Chains A and B, each alone.
Chain A
């Protein structure tokens, strides 16, 4: 089946069987994995790495929430607490959120969505995974040999002159992992330009491709600045050159400029791929072309561009010029517009769609609400006056967790469920899937909504003791975190289980329109038997049979065939 025309595509078989040959059984043994250049296997390798890092970061989070259950400092010492939030931040930002969607779903899907055999540079892709792991090992070394404190932001002169923890080791780990980011971004850019199948024009690219393209541009442009900045920190710390420390003739605000010039765009590295996933989920489960395709695609590019000119909103109270602050505040308001365009377009896509509330859509709907709250509170923070009150409080903590956890992780999990049939060849268990989506949504809100209130009431971030009147909110938050923890554990268990035990999915269990669904599940190593020739527009559902499937039981199947 190589030519995709507007004619009916072969319907999904009712009782599909696993194909005889696919990328998972093409070769066996550890070596066949560790030396693979197959983008799909590398995606799975990356998935294993980042899941491990997520678990480590999660343990640090749970320890912090336990400490905060009671007002006095009891569970851990102040030094240990400082290290906990620092290492939690470093691991979650650089070793989970930044790589999360691009290196797993992105690696798996970018070639498939454009009808290619692999990424443009398969070996660089493997090298990227190795660099990531080397960076992770160096960072873990920093953790095991005593840890690092001062916050994930490495603010100077604290980090360069006054901390006695493993700052340079941690920064080296991040530096190395940065190169894995650059390689992934470069690979995606070249692949998108050069590897599209005949007929796959830019206007026919799935929205997931557009958002990964925009992300890749940020990865390539911004990551080197972080690398240089961390290198300068190391130079000042080890050699005492005066760069950032005023006592040596340096300028501490310069560090913040450089750091946030990377780190604000970096928050878009985290959210843009998530937005791409959401576009796919919402279209498939409402069986409609996304409303305003061109605007959703264009807003990804606009976010990538505007994201570079708002960074000083992290520095409003750092003593920067009020005139500069005014400009950065205005730009921060401007950057929220393309995000709002997306939210409205997704909602409009749902309108009068043929909606099925499968697990991936539940995650997508969760994303929609949580991302909106996260984005709107970003506007609170970008207001020059209000930020003086809520800067460095729990309000900021709640804001970015709504986006990074409520947004990115919801989308990541939604995407994993949606493409799980493609990745593994089998369905995930629907009931468990819905339960976990619900638990995560409830647990998430219970964890982080109280933090908005705490922050507004004046609880500063990064403290391990607090006045008793704040306790009720902290108790709620810790309770929510426990639910959230269970919610994250569930998919890990049932997806592993489903790999051997669930019903076989077949090539296109969702009746989705993307090219990745026009080949067998799991795909062969080269994805397509012959290079597809694309003659359809993106998200054209005409002739694609509605899902006959997700056959968990004969009975359920019958409700989907009409």
Chain B
């Protein structure tokens, strides 16, 4: 395994701190009405958080190309699930008679 890379403890604390801050931001943003942007903002924060976890806590940043490729493939495949499901929801009303 190439994941022998040892990170300084400081990195972990910083990432942890970032996650905490973002959690607080999520909670605060939820109390402000941004209209259509509500979901977008919440999702952006969530994606940032999960990216931090994957890169640092799961060591993907320091792993082999194969591991990185696998992660990217997984995300791509999740996009298929979400994207193609949305084709249904987005276009459902296109054909209703106006």
Contacts and interface: CB of A to CB of B under 8 A. Distances in A.
Contact of B85 (A221, A257, A322, A323): A257
Contacts of A320: 88, 92
Interface stretch (B5-13, B18-26, B73-81): B73-81
A225 B77 CA distance: 11
A321 B80 CA distance: 17
Interface residues of B, number: 15
B77 A221 contact: yes
A221 B88 contact: no
Interface in B53-98: 74, 77, 80-81, 84-85, 87-95
A308 B94 contact: no
A321 B92 contact: yes
A313 to B, nearest CB: 12
Nearest to A261: B81
Main secondary structure of the interface of B (DSSP, over half): helix
A253 B88 CA distance: 10
A322 B90 CA distance: 11
Nearest to B81: A261
Interface residues of A, number: 16
B96 to A, nearest CB: 10
Interface in A315-337: 320-324, 327-328
B92 A309 contact: no
B75 to A, nearest CB: 12
Interface string B20-34: 000000000000000
Contact of A324 (B74, B81, B91): B91
Contacts of A253: 88
Contacts of B93: 321
A64 interface: no
Contacts of A266: none
A309 B85 CA distance: 10
Interface in A322-370: 322-324, 327-328
Contacts of B85: 254, 257, 261
A221 B81 CA distance: 11
Given A221-B74, A257-B85, A323 B91 contact: yes
Give 6 nearest A-B pairs by CB, closest first: A321-B92, A324-B88, A323-B91, A321-B91, A324-B87, A320-B88
